[in-house]
Chains A and B, each alone.
Chain A
Amino acid sequence: MSDSTHRGVCRYCGAPAESNGLCGRCRAGERSDFFSVMGLPRRLDIDLQALESIYHRLSRDVHPDFHYHKPADEREEWLKRSASVNQAYRTLRDFHARVAYLVELEGGGAVKPQAPPELLEDVIEVQDLLEESRRGGAEGRALADRLQAERERLLDQLARLESDLKRRAQEWDGLLGAETERSPSQRQILRALQDLLSQRVYLLNLIRDLEAVPSSVA
């Protein structure tokens, strides 16, 4: 398999490739991370056109349709490889999924909803609005205005978050070298990315809550 083995040895672990072109030791592709599966460095700026070309090329190599007449255990192997290429593409083509994946891959743990500290007042305001709308507050007009204003504030906040994410992603790419050991500033960026993503999820939930307010009121 041209992308995990090269000149008869595995690209990832250096073991001699097996006759089917797969690495028998590290099972490259199946086990390795999505960036390696696609043959890419762990950069967050990915050209989507190029990624699609890589995806198509790999699919032509690994898809089970092209290995139909192989023995059953080899077919099973290609099935898993194909599944891993599909997953890698699905994850890497989406910016937020890509960042979340990188953070986790670098040992940062999963992204969980987390309130941005500067948003405390907005959280309380949204709760109030929801409560008032539930009680069917008489001042429907004023409520609608407040909902609108709050929604705009949250969307502003989301836009700020997104640009912070982009900036941090660029910083990560700028510091990325060949070494696998991460410097303190790189670890700091990863933590920042994780926080930003966590806050984004929280913010999206909040906006969703707000949009769930009965439309007769909003």
Chain B
Amino acid sequence: MARIVGIDLGTTNSLIAYMDSTEPRVIADPAGGRLVPSVVSISNDGRIEVGEAAKRKLVTDPEHTIYSIKRFMGKGWDDVRHEAALFPYRIASPPENRVSSEHTDVVRVLAGGKGWTPPEISALILQELKRRADAFFGEPITQAVITVPAYFNDTQRQATKDAGRLAGLDVLRIVNEPTAASLAYGLQKSKQGVIAVYDLGGGTFDISILKLKDGIFEVLATNGNTHLGGDDFDRRLVALIFEEIKQQFGVDLHDVPEVMQRVRIAAEAAKCHLSAVELAGIEVRLDADRCYTRTITRMEFEDLIRDLVETSLGPCRQAQADAGLQGGQVDEIVLVGGSTRIPLVRRMVERHFGRTPHGEVNPEEVVALGAAIQADILAGGIRDMLLLDVNPLSLGIETVGGIMSVLIPRNTTIPTSAKETFTTSVDGQSAVVIHVLQGERELVKDNRSLARFELRGVDPMPAGLPRVEVTFLIDANGILKVSASELRSGKSQSIEVKPSYGLTESQIEQMLADSFKHAKSDLEQRALIEAKNEAAEILHATDKALQRGRQLLEPHEIERIEAAVGELRAAMEGTDRQAVRRKKAQLDEATRHLAEALMDASLHEAMQDKHVSKFLPQD
């Protein structure tokens, strides 16, 4: 049986774990260290250090010491330009980044005389973890399961797989962090019931609600915020410190990388202290003569971050609603991620769910332990546990009128597939464009475009005759494949959806926030488009009916119909849905006699000709 390890590749710290005969264990270094800080230092002469050694350089050599690289995974320059200034290391702007035409969009960190992509930096961290495991087992390991935030999109998942490959690891599976945590928790307890995993790490927040029964871990719903974590708490404290430095010493020092790093590290240390004690000291040396000091109480710190913690509750509510739970009730709360050590976070989670969070599992290790369990399942070891995960965001395609037609709603159990049949709108059309979208909004323009591809070579046929079947298939890693085939000719095309840099963090958040904020106006716009489509149908039917039945009507009836047609056309020019509906109803009314007359006529005709095959449009 091949040995497969589980890896938690975190924003702040990373861990590697394996499955002992009965339980998962973290692999420590010879000194007993279990966490590898996700920090890489690359000196000008190209010397590379990773982990603790690199972490020590955060202060002494901030410009060459790279941390929180996970925030940049699967990102393009446009996605990170606003954030880039917050980091003391250098991120290449596009002119510096013209390495090859196909890679211009990928973020690159400049260090040691070259530009490094985020997967390359992450690979250095993974190699450090792999060295630990190789030494521990006395032979090289080659296969791994790596965890990602549940809210990671296709590109971010793909980037994580790339990092594994660069580190010499075959990544058998990408697993969502909160679900991995639930595996470790469930194995330990062999629990039944509904659990909520609240995962607040260094950079991201995930909430997942799962049902545990007979070894099956079924994710009911997941939600999150890819831009909320301990880093953001640190930034609040950092801002306060710089503000006070300015008041006390009359200088603004946040452009000085060394000072920036000292302040950041002091803030992070104070934050961690305040989880255990009520009062912490902060001391930052500014230069040879000056030193900033102050003490901070837990209450002061809590006031600084309270609104940030509160923003995590919105996704919780949405996940509870999506999970379809009676009264949103869960049986247990599992806390994951270092930031859940903060007492305020615990209190707010407890108040929100009405349950005391589970405190027995180590929140920093539980994800890696879960990854090790998933690795053992894939290796054919554990047979009685199975994880059934979901896709975090809805997937669909563009349809007439710029509406997104959802084929796979968010929180659908994966693997899954969906099929839908489309047709052409113009006679003789020989190609159909399939536009793949991801997001929660009604209209195409408000969602993220994942891919666009063309099904060519459709045999020329009258409009509406070709039948193009589009199939979406999402695998167990959450990675999407779209294929399309024309059913009459059997021509098919298939693409793996690999956008150059998928949804950005801020786009996902913005999209989610907007979907709630704009839910009403979205519905309104959609309803208007639908009303117009219906109106177009009845206009078409009226036109046909008039051609056939004009002689059956009195002149004033024809006049009335034509007037109603004119008014409906005018209403369709505007944006008043009620007006479109009203005018459509009027036209309905005006054509009633025409419809009846035609019906009579065709009945009459049918009886004469013994033809019953003739029928008219219903509208």
A194 within 8 A of partner (CB): no
How far, in angstroms, from A84 to B378 measured CA to CA in the complex? Answer: 21
- Looking at the complex, which one of B213, B415, B523 makes contact with A82 (CB distance below 8 Å)? B415
The prevalent SS among residues of A at the interface is helix
**Contact present for B380 and A80 (CB under 8 Å):** no
Q: Which residues of A contact B581 (CB under 8 A)?
A: 127
Q: Which residues of B contact A79 (CB under 8 A)?
A: 415, 473, 475-476
Contact with A along B508-523 (1 / 0, CB 8 A): 0000000000001001
**Contact present for B578 and A83 (CB under 8 Å):** no
How far, in angstroms, from A87 to B407 measured CA to CA in the complex? Answer: 12
Size category, A interface: 20 to 34
**Contact present for A68 and B380 (CB under 8 Å):** yes
Q: Choose among A56, A84, A90 the residue with the greatest number of B CB atoms under 10 Å from its CB.
A: A56
**Contact present for A65 and B417 (CB under 8 Å):** no
**Contact present for B413 and A86 (CB under 8 Å):** yes
Contact with B along A29-55 (1 / 0, CB 8 A): 000000000000000000000001000
**Contact present for B582 and A127 (CB under 8 Å):** yes
Contact with B along A61-91 (1 / 0, CB 8 A): 0011110110000000001101110110110
Q: Which residues of A contact B578 (CB under 8 A)?
A: 127, 130-131, 134
B412 within 8 A of partner (CB): yes
Size category, B interface: 20 to 34
In the assembled complex, the CB of B146 is this many whole angstroms from the nearest CB of chain A, namely 15
B172 within 8 A of partner (CB): yes
Q: Which residues of B contact A134 (CB under 8 A)?
A: 578
- Looking at the complex, which one of A60, A65, A84 makes contact with B476 (CB distance below 8 Å)? A65
- Choose the segment among B381-389, B451-459, B462-470, B592-600 that binds chain A (4+ C-beta atoms closer than 8 Å): B381-389
**Contact present for B415 and A68 (CB under 8 Å):** no
How far, in angstroms, from A63 to B475 measured CA to CA in the complex? Answer: 10
In the assembled complex, the CB of A175 is this many whole angstroms from the nearest CB of chain B, namely 29
In the assembled complex, the CB of A133 is this many whole angstroms from the nearest CB of chain B, namely 11
Q: Choose among B374, B383, B413 the residue with the greatest number of A CB atoms under 10 Å from its CB.
A: B413
CB proximity to B under 8 Å, residues A129-188: 130-131, 134
**Contact present for B386 and A65 (CB under 8 Å):** yes
A25 within 8 A of partner (CB): no
B377 within 8 A of partner (CB): yes
Q: Which residues of B contact A83 (CB under 8 A)?
A: 414-417, 473-474
Q: When A and B form their complex, which 7 residue pairs have the shortest distance between CB atoms, in order from nearest?
A: A83-B417, A83-B415, A86-B413, A82-B415, A68-B378, A56-B216, A83-B416
Chain B residues within CB distance 8 Å of chain A: 172-173, 213-214, 216, 374, 377-380, 383, 386-388, 412-418, 473-476, 520, 523-524, 578, 581-582
